[in-house]
Structure 1
């Protein structure tokens, strides 16, 4: 597969998903459910917003975090968010926003240009990254 999502589009989507995750308290009424359904989207939304501000891309303000780190964190947080309704057993009340936003984060982390997930070993070594550093 080939990366197809430019970092400029990724930056816009990252801010949008971060703000949507933070707003799930009100838009999907998770404030009445409480527990992990309330705090996980809120926590991951704030982490995404902070990482977007610090990212080395077109819309990052402080440009500290490399995009490789950001992509890896997106895949980890997205997969965790997708599984959270079943792990924390609130899937009978709400699961759609967690799966949608978690899936979007997961796919963004994989298909952004420069993502380490679609590069071959020799491409990583030319960029100064060895396969051992990804583990």
Structure 2
């Protein structure tokens, strides 16, 4: 498959989804539910906002985190957010925002141009000490 999300569109969508996740407290009224339904979208939204600010793309302010790391984190957080209503057993009260926003993060992480999950030419750099360096 080919990646179809440009990095500029990805950057805009990342800010939008981060702010929407933070605002789920009020827009979907999860204050009365509490627990994981309240805190998971809030925490993942703030993490997404921090990652967007530090991302190495056109709309990133500090350009510290490489886009490949950001894409992998999106896939992990998106899949975790999609499964959370059933893992934490609040699916009978609310599950639509977690599945929608989690699915959006998952798809954005995989299908953004330059993502290491679909493009074989863009892989994460190896680092650290190799086994022969320690001798």
Q: CA RMSD in A?
A: 1.2
Higher helix share: 1
Q: Which residue of 1 aligns with 2:88?
A: 88
Deviation at 1:64, TM superposition (A): 0.2
Q: Which residue of 2 aligns with 1:33?
A: 33
Task: Kindly indicate whether residue 51 of structure 2 is the aligned counterpart of residue 51 of structure 1.
Answer: yes
Verify the 8 A CA contact 2:116 2:124 in the aligned structure 1: no
Task: Kindly indicate whether residue 108 of structure 2 is the aligned counterpart of residue 108 of structure 1.
Answer: yes
Structure 1: gaps spanning 5 or more residues: 131-135
For 1:93 and 1:9, the matched residues in 2 are separated by: 33
Q: Which residue of 1 aligns with 2:79?
A: 79
Deviation digits for residues 112-133 of structure 1 (CA, Å, limit 9, x no counterpart) = 000011123xx24xx6746xxx
Structure 2: gaps spanning 5 or more residues: 127-135
Aligned length: 126
TM-score w.r.t. length of structure 2: 0.90
TM-score w.r.t. length of structure 1: 0.90
Task: Look at both structures and tell me which one has the larger radius of gyration over its CA atoms.
Answer: 2
